[in-house]
Chain A
Amino acid sequence: MDSVAVIGASLAGLRAIETLRRDGFEGRIHLVGAERHRPYDRPPLSKQILAGDWETERIWLTSDEALSDLGCEPLFGVSAVALDPETLQVDLSTGDALDVDGVVIATGARTRTLGDPLGGVFTLRTVDDAQSIAAAFDQGPDRVVVIGAGFIGAEVASTARERGIAVTMIEAAQTPFERSLGTEMGAVIVDMHRDQGVDVRVGVTCEELIGEQNVTGVRLSDGSVIDATVVVVGIGVTPNIEWLVTSGLDITNGVLCDATMLAAPRIVAAGDVARWPNRLFDEVMRVEHWDNATGQAVHAAKRLLHGSSVGEYAPVPWFWTDQYDRKIQLAGRTTGFDEVIVVEGAVEDRRFAALYRKADRLVGVLGFNRPRHVMRYRGLIESRTSWSDAMAAQF
């Protein structure tokens, strides 16, 4: 293998390059990134950048010098538009093409939107998005409406409240995070936002964004209208797979890989765009978390370089979200769980750890300001610990 194209210049793409070099790859590395920026860290966007606490300089994951030291040839502001899995030719939006011996697909995902955008309606994924929303917050809007109480929406609501802005957050489900956390734990998050003054409305959707050029309000499915000049839409993301339509790869809800992150001979995938069978949970999954982007990229790069001897990628997914003064962390795979039990601390204090059971196994741990417990139990999930053993554990 003499040359590799890494398609996607965010966290996963960068970690893949670093791993290739650390493991001794000496060939050419092309880095193709659709954004005009070098790789940067996304978690601070909804928090420190939106709050105005950080200069943008602080989010860069690497410097031009470090990229050059890695011997990678970056193409920023350029998209890949097609991949031929036989010849490993990557066609670019510039009309040029790369002919390589290995490909890392790390094109990530993009935000879902609510149709034609009015002025004042935003989604949050990129640093440009975050700067636009921060600028809108700087204008001192009377109210911000957050559509979708997922983690991005909840973080935006949290940051807006900390800036003293009135917030209405609407959520289609009766309980936010119902699927992943369950109604009881989802309600803890809702209560936390209400205590901070957020007007949380559940079981309603956005019927209409009102306004001519700029948004002036939101009409909800229950008929009510909320006046707002800033609306942030956080209704999830969709993987960036359109450029692979002609490749013949399975791109249903992400690039399907085998358990080692191989999508096809000499092609691996990692990050938000990758779907793979995680043997630890016997489930084909696509994980949109920061930690997975890193771990999966390291694994995928090693798979490309060393072959199947690197084994399967079977992690315990983990993420954190910071809302107000709470650090909320979830490790495991809780969808479809049978039972949740608080094992440490108290829900009323919003400082606790709760375990999730599925059949006779520990499958998840949720922590509110309990990072130590989350990581200990994460270890137990990784070792397929039974529910009874997990309940008996003392940390």
Chain B
Amino acid sequence: MSFKVVVDYDLCESNAICMQIAPEVFEVRDDDFLYVLADEPEETQREKVEEAVQRCPKQAIAIAEA
């Protein structure tokens, strides 16, 4: 079982909360944009990504089961 990280870039405001929670998956770079480093992260990242989904102030992140 694997999962995909889906970011709605129309909603994303680069608050970088996700980067603090799951730095292996999310990175906000110097251009202030969010980059997803792993579209389909390891299963071990799932809990962190779930927390990022919940903590995102813009509700811009979702998980899709791949």
Contacts and interface: CB of A to CB of B under 8 A. Distances in A.
B55 A372 contact: no
Given A15-B54, A320-B57, A372 B15 contact: no
Nearest to A371: B16
Nearest to B29: A372
Contact of B20 (A41, A327, A375): A375
A194 B15 CA distance: 25
B60 interface: no
Contacts of A290: 57
A294 B16 contact: no
B19 A372 contact: yes
A327 B58 CA distance: 13
Interface string A318-332: 101010000101000
Contact of B16 (A41, A43, A298, A372): A372
A375 B16 contact: yes
Interface string B38-60: 00000000000000001101010
A313 to B, nearest CB: 14
B55 A291 contact: yes
A294 B13 CA distance: 18
B20 A291 contact: no
B35 to A, nearest CB: 11
B7 interface: no
A371 B55 contact: no
A299 to B, nearest CB: 12
A41 B60 CA distance: 13
Contact of A327 (B15, B19, B55): B15
Interface residues of B, number: 15
A291 B51 CA distance: 12
Nearest to B54: A294
Interface in A4-36: 15, 18
A154 interface: no
A322 B13 CA distance: 10
Contacts of B19: 372, 375
B44 to A, nearest CB: 18
Range, interface on chain A: 20 to 34
B contact patch SS: loop
B36 interface: no
A152 B14 CA distance: 21
A168 B16 CA distance: 33
B62 interface: no
A318 B56 CA distance: 12
Contacts of A41: 59
Contacts of A318: 17
B15 A329 contact: yes
A369 interface: yes
B55 A295 contact: yes
A18 B16 CA distance: 23
Most A C-beta atoms less than 10 A away, residue of B16, B17, B19, B54: B16
Most B C-beta atoms less than 10 A away, residue of A15, A295, A372: A372
A327 B33 CA distance: 13
A378 interface: yes
Interface in A168-185: none
A374 interface: yes
B32 A371 contact: yes
B11 to A, nearest CB: 9
A77 interface: no
Given A327-B15, A371-B16, A375-B16, A294 B28 contact: no
Contacts of A375: 16-17, 19-20, 28
Which 10 residue pairs across A and B have the least CB separation, nearest first? A371-B16, A375-B16, A375-B20, A372-B28, A371-B14, A372-B16, A371-B15, A371-B28, A375-B19, A320-B15
Given A41-B59, A61-B59, A375-B20, 7 more contacts: A290-B57, A322-B13, A327-B14, A327-B15, A371-B16, A371-B32, A372-B32
13 contacts: A15-B54, A41-B59, A290-B57, A291-B57, A294-B54, A294-B55, A318-B17, A327-B14, A329-B15, A369-B32, A371-B14, A371-B15, A375-B17
